[in-house]
Amino acid sequence: MAGLNAALEIGKNALFNAQVQIQTTSHNVANAENPGYARQKAPTVTQGAIPGRAGWIGMGARLNRIVQQRDLFLEGRYLSASSQSAYYETLERTARAVETYFSDDGEIGLNGALNDFWNAWNALAQNPEGAAEKALVLECGENLCSSLHQKASQLQQSQAGIVTELQNTLSAVNGLLQKIRDLNQQIQRSETPAFMANDLRDQRFQALQELSTYLHFNTEEASGGMLNLFLEDGTPLVLFQDYAAELTWTGTTASFVIEIRDTSKVVAQFDGPTNMVKDSLQGSSGALVAAMGHVDSWDDALDQFASALVTGFQEIYDDIFNPPASYFFDPDFTTAATIRLSTNPLPSPSNALARAALSLQTQGLSELDGLSLSQHLAQISQDVGLTVTTASSLHLVHDAMAQQLDAQRQSVSGISLDEEMVELIKQQQLYQAAAKIVQQTAQMMQTAIQMV
């Protein structure tokens, strides 16, 4: 009877094993459309043998534990590529918005206003005392100032929008870091050496996926199924179940700092006056910090243009009128946001003044590193366009890499309904075979009992 009891126990365990495996397969099928779900399996291991008359006799199989089909190396590379893709996508998007401000064909926009300005001076050179020509010069001068004001305002609005988006991004990052810390805590409480909290691990990976779009980080496995997160420079973001960093933004649009609240560790910084950019975040948050540096440099270049324009006319008036009663542009306002005509822009027009003003059109200016005013504007547009092109190209590269790595990850962790159906058929057959063992063993035990 001992042998029959052992056989009955083996059959019963096989039934239980098959039930759990069928339930696991059903769980996989139910989550087939869940992109953050990792396929689960319930593998069995051989039970310990016992000594018998013929030697060591096997005692069947038992479930080891339900495990996830994951490739941690692939997942790490995928999260890194996702972060890089988000970085260049965000940089491209912000730079492309600025590109629209400087895109014109010479007929409209700032270049058009500058060309109209020179044409007005050319007309004045043909008729130095003409009232209509004087009025046209003043009107085109006002239009040029208005165009500079508009461009400066648009750049300032871009910077304000970037800061608002960055603050919202940091709020999302803080929420995800706290969520990962809380999931660490739940996993640590739920897991034992024999049982894994697989669904909680899936939730944590989904949070990691979302976090990777905001910043770049490294992960480190810790005891109890927990996961630690660090920035590239080693700054801790999440430690075990106890710590989640809180990123704070302080400053103004012109200069700000992003730091870890409790340690005052600076992880990103932008300083407008020196155009200094520091970034340890990467991802979309790092791209926004970098975008602030780009927009600020373009704003400075526009201010250089305005200052060179004011200074150039100031020198012309000094040479001709010595000293002039007033200047064409007010010398106290030399930025793109403030430039304006003086109260008496044309105190005494003359042919010499118009010719001198026209000479400024093609003159290389020291304030612009030897470039003319038109060449300097073209250089700003080229720099903006190059930033957009470079970011777009790198975005395509890293996005393709992220998609490829995600496909490889899904080939390991994703659900194939065909494979699950095959597994289900196999498990059904195992269940039926185990049930047959139990049935036949029970009949043999009944026969043995009747013989007694």
Residues 372-426: pLDDT tens digits? 888 898 898 889 999 999 999 999 999 999 999 888 888 888 888 888 888 888 8
Low pLDDT (below 70) residues in the chain: 1-3, 54, 104-107, 348-350, 452
pTM, 2 dp = 0.85
Whether residue 377 contacts residue 118, with contact meaning beta carbons closer than 8 Å, is answered with no
Question: How far is 74 from 201, CA to CA, in rounded Å?
Answer: 16
The pLDDT value given to residue 164:
93
Question: How far is 155 from 243, CA to CA, in rounded Å?
Answer: 39
Q: Determine how β-strand 265-271 pairs with β-strand 276-279.
A: antiparallel
Question: How far is 120 from 415, CA to CA, in rounded Å?
Answer: 71
Q: What distance, in Å, lies between the first and last C-alpha atoms of the chain?
A: 12
The pLDDT value given to residue 1:
52
Question: How far is 141 from 117, CA to CA, in rounded Å?
Answer: 6
Helix spans in 55-108 (H): 72-102
Q: Which residue has tokens 């010595």?
A: 322
The pLDDT value given to residue 12:
80
Question: How far is 57 from 99, CA to CA, in rounded Å?
Answer: 78
The pLDDT value given to residue 107:
64
Tally the residues of the chain.
Answer: 452
User: Which bin fits 282, alpha (ψ -120 to 50), beta or left (φ > 0)?
Assistant: left
The pLDDT value given to residue 104:
66
Whether residue 415 contacts residue 31, with contact meaning beta carbons closer than 8 Å, is answered with yes
